[in-house]
Structure 1
Amino acid sequence: MSSTATILTGSLGMTLIAMVGAISLILPARRLEVLLLPLVALAAGSLLGGALFHMLPEGFSELMPRQGANWIAAGFSTFLVLEQSLHWHHSHRQRRADSPTAVQPMALLILLGDGLHNLIGGLGITSTYLINPPAGIAAWLAAVLHEIPQELGDFGVLLHSGWRPRQALLWNLISAVTFPLGALIAWAFRTSLPLAPLVLFAAGNFLYIAASDLVPEIKNSQSRLAAASNLGWFLLGLLLLQRLIH
């Protein structure tokens, strides 16, 4: 498969993951809640693994350490600013509110935040792929494992905002279309865009999401058994991405 076809296929796959929220209409809420934390733990490990084992080495192979560190810090800080300015927290639990109107602003901010997040992801992951295809595929896999629990949580927010299931799925899909947009921008301007800085910028995003949003969620386990299970899923995510080293 050509590089162009791989990028298009990966972008389409990432976009379609936005439809995974429909699972919450089938599974009982209690069972869905049980499934979410292991998925979040797996996503935390895979995002850290994608950044540490693949994106950082590729970025630093073309930049001096101080230059690379600046781009990582910029990517990390950008998501902090995004969350602070939009009051958007990357939570993966099914959130509820007393009235739909109380959550409506949150739902709109979730969609806006996800759109920006997907755009940056498309730019960074495609840039990684253009520098080194195996590393790009590993970064894409890490993003997929993160998107599944995120989309389940976001879908719950939209439903509790009073949106109909079909409407919620449509807008989740629209916010996901920015991923292929970012991918196409990176591919179209691959000869002029600074690919290594984009890779490290996206790595900073991965590190922020894992450390600030995902790990705190899995740390608050109610029992030792749940804590051990979450730790196991987290380590599995790390090991999975470490084993993908090329």
Structure 2
Amino acid sequence: MTSPSLFIWLAVLADGLAGLAGGLLSERWLKRHLAALVAFAAGALIGAVFLEILPEALAVEGPGAFRWALASFLALTLLEWFLGPHHHDHSAHAPGHPHHHDGAVKAPSTVVPSLLAADALHNIGDGAAVAAAFLVSPQAGVATALAVIAHELPQEVGDYALLRATGLSRARSLLALGGVQLTAVAGAGAVLLGSRWVAGLEGIILALAGGTFLYIGATDLLPELRHTADPRSARGRLPGFLLGLALVAMAGVVERHVLGAHG
């Protein structure tokens, strides 16, 4: 059987490539489809939490998995209350949004280090979640990787737009985001090493990821979609959300059939 490490590094690589998507898409396309992308990410995150991540964490950690998930959910809630809104406001960073000045007025350059630092911490968590999930089961790994990549797309599109608003060139913006994506390797590597020394570490991290993804999907992404002003963009919200849910569900079904056929 193929080592979980191979799947972990492939998933981390795919996540890193998704983080550079903003520079490959036209601003006109992004403006039209950003709401659908955000809705897709919300559907994938919430679907992964309830269909794969929490059930797998419960199987490994027992009822304690819910306590770890609740702890991460509450930690993010308190963090946002005391430190201000989540830094990934996709609609505000999107090209064409009233707060994005299309180059006419630059955003303060001081946002660059804080944005990249926050992104680095986020990616460390993503890498850790993907590694923990694949160590638990292939199904949990695939679902977690899909959720992470789906969330990465609108998140990094927003970050790319904000970096461009500070005056950075396309090349420098992509280079900065590409460097930050490498921090996911640190998160994945830490879990791979730590799981050898701490029994049940992957179950705990998977439960923490479940609470984190639930918070991001339910309290960050979904409320944001209510503020979509463009009617054409708003029409993509429901299909995008359902597609995100369906993708995670279908991936789980396919994975189980493949495993069953080779089991």
Is the TM-score greater than 0.5?
A: yes
Quote the residue 2:72 is aligned against: 75
Quote the residue 1:34 is aligned against: 32
Q: Distance in 1 between matches of 2:86 and 2:197?
A: 33
Q: For 1:118, give the aligned amino acid.
A: N
- Match of residue 239, structure 2, among 216, 232, 242: 232
Task: Give the unaligned 5+ runs of structure 2.
Answer: 257-263
Quote the residue 1:153 is aligned against: 158
- Match of residue 180, structure 1, among 179, 185, 205: 185
Quote the residue 2:17 is aligned against: 16
Q: Distance in 1 between matches of 2:78 and 2:116?
A: 16
Quote the residue 1:55 is aligned against: 53
- Runs (4+) of structure 1 moved beyond 4 Å? 81-84, 223-228
Would the alpha carbon gap of residues 221 and 17 (structure 1) be closer, same or farther in structure 2, given more than 3 Å must change?
closer
Q: TM-score, normalised by structure 2?
A: 0.83
- Match of residue 210, structure 1, among 214, 217, 225: 217
Give the 3-state SS of the residue equivalent to 2:61 in structure 1: coil
Kindly state the Cα deviation for residue 244 of structure 1 after the two structures are TM-superposed. Answer: 2.7
Kindly state the Cα deviation for residue 88 of structure 1 after the two structures are TM-superposed. Answer: 4.1
Alignment of 1:80-159 (within 5 A): 80-83=77-80, 84-85=82-83, 88-93=86-91, 94=94, 95-96=99-100, 99-100=105-106, 102-159=107-164
Q: Deviation string for 1:94-115 (max 9, x for gaps)?
A: 2525743x43233322211111
Quote the residue 2:259 is aligned against: none
Q: For 1:57, give the aligned amino acid.
A: P
Task: Give the unaligned 5+ runs of structure 1.
Answer: none
RMSD: 2.2
Aligned length: 241
Kindly state the Cα deviation for residue 200 of structure 1 after the two structures are TM-superposed. Answer: 0.6
Kindly state the Cα deviation for residue 181 of structure 1 after the two structures are TM-superposed. Answer: 1.1
Would the alpha carbon gap of residues 123 and 72 (structure 1) be closer, same or farther in structure 2, given more than 3 Å must change?
same
Q: Distance in 2 between matches of 1:222 and 1:86?
A: 24
Q: Deviation string for 1:37-64 (max 9, x for gaps)?
A: 1111111000101111111001111233
- 8 Å CA contact 2:45–2:213 kept in 1: the answer is yes
Greater shift, 149-158 or 226-235, is seen at 226-235
- 8 Å CA contact 1:88–1:106 kept in 2: the answer is no
Kindly state the Cα deviation for residue 2 of structure 1 after the two structures are TM-superposed. Answer: 2.8
Q: For 1:96, give the aligned amino acid.
A: H
Kindly state the Cα deviation for residue 153 of structure 1 after the two structures are TM-superposed. Answer: 1.0
Kindly state the Cα deviation for residue 81 of structure 1 after the two structures are TM-superposed. Answer: 4.6
Q: TM-score, normalised by structure 1?
A: 0.88
Percent pairwise identity: 31
Kindly state the Cα deviation for residue 224 of structure 1 after the two structures are TM-superposed. Answer: 6.9
